[in-house]
């Protein structure tokens, strides 16, 4: 039996590619899932009695707090959370990044993560148990040209995770970051187009950069979900404050 059987798991950014993959896997392993996003996920999720959906923008602290309350009111507790909401932001040299666009990336990717942690910890610390997984990126551990806003935000997510881990360990709550490499997703397709438009020689002129990874392929959303599930389950009981790469060897260089 999966250690996630009967667990209550919150997934933010649940209408996105990674969010849906996480929800699918957690449900398959017997969890009940609270899905949260600005827009609803597909009907195949909403029709299931073990799924609750709460519309929320992660930049709105009150809305995130309300989502966690829904989880507790509907299912009685909250055992784990995957904070997967995020945006890529502007693709441009640093000197051309608009301040408002930069602020929006930080609001979604960093403050959204902070709001999720805060709301979850108000429930998890008193109950003495829980696991929070924050989606960072390889852009949280290395730099990337023309992606300064996104890179700064994902570095900040790792900083949040590490600081929170030092606070929450004594309370039985684990916090970790998952750092995917380029994912086969709608976001990556947008980035491939925008980055290639700025540098036609990128990836030797190929329409995407998948063959530039040592494994010669983009990471799948299912592979990211597998790592998140591992970190939410009992099998990862001593994993705390870590950054877990799922990057096809990208950062091995």
- Active-site positions read 150
Strand locations in the chain (E) = 8-12, 32-37, 51-55, 80-83, 130-135, 173-180, 243-246
Two tokens at 30? 């017997």
How far from chain centre, in Å, is Cα 78?
Answer: 17
| Dihedral over alpha carbons 115, 121, 123, 124 (to 10 degrees) | 140
Distances (CA, A) of 60 to 17, 65, 104, 155, 162: 22, 9, 12, 21, 23
- Residue 208 near residue 192 (C-beta atoms within 8 A): yes
Say how far apart CA 61 and CA 107 lie, in whole Å.
Answer: 11
- Residue 173 near residue 124 (C-beta atoms within 8 A): yes
**Cα R_g (the chain), whole angstroms:** 18
- 43, burial (CB in 10 Å: exposed 0-12, middle 13-18, buried 19+): exposed
Say how far apart CA 183 and CA 220 lie, in whole Å.
Answer: 6
Beta bridge partners of 36: 12, 54
DSSP 8-state symbol, 16: S
């Amino acid at each position: 039996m999966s250690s996630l059987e009967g667990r209550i798991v919150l997934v933010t950014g649940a209408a996105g590619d990674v969010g849906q993959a996480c929800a699918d896997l957690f449900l398959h392993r017997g969890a009940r899932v609270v899905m949260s996003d600005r827009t609803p996920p597909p009907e195949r999720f909403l029709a299931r009695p073990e799924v609750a959906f709460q519309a929320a923008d992660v930049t709105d602290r009150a809305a995130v707090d309300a989502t966690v309350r829904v989880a507790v009111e509907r299912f009685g507790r909250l055992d784990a959370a995957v904070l997967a909401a995020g945006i890529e932001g502007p693709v441009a040299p640093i000197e051309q990044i608009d301040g408002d666009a930069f602020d929006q990336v930080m609001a979604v990717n960093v403050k959204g993560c902070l709001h999720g942690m805060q709301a979850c910890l108000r429930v998890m610390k008193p109950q003495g148990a829980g696991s929070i997984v924050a989606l960072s990126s390889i852009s949280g551990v290395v730099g990337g040209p023309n992606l300064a806003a996104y890179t700064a935000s994902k570095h900040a997510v790792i900083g949040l995770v590490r600081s929170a881990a030092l606070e929450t360990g004594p309370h039985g709550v684990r916090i970790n970051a998952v750092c995917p490499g380029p994912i086969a997703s709608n976001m990556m397709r947008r980035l491939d187009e925008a980055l290639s438009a700025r540098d036609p020689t990128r990836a030797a002129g190929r329409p995407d950069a998948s063959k530039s990874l040592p494994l010669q392929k983009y990471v799948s959303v299912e592979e990211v979900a597998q790592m998140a599930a591992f970190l939410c389950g009992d099998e990862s009981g001593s994993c705390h404050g870590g950054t877990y790469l799922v990057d096809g060897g990208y950062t091995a260089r």
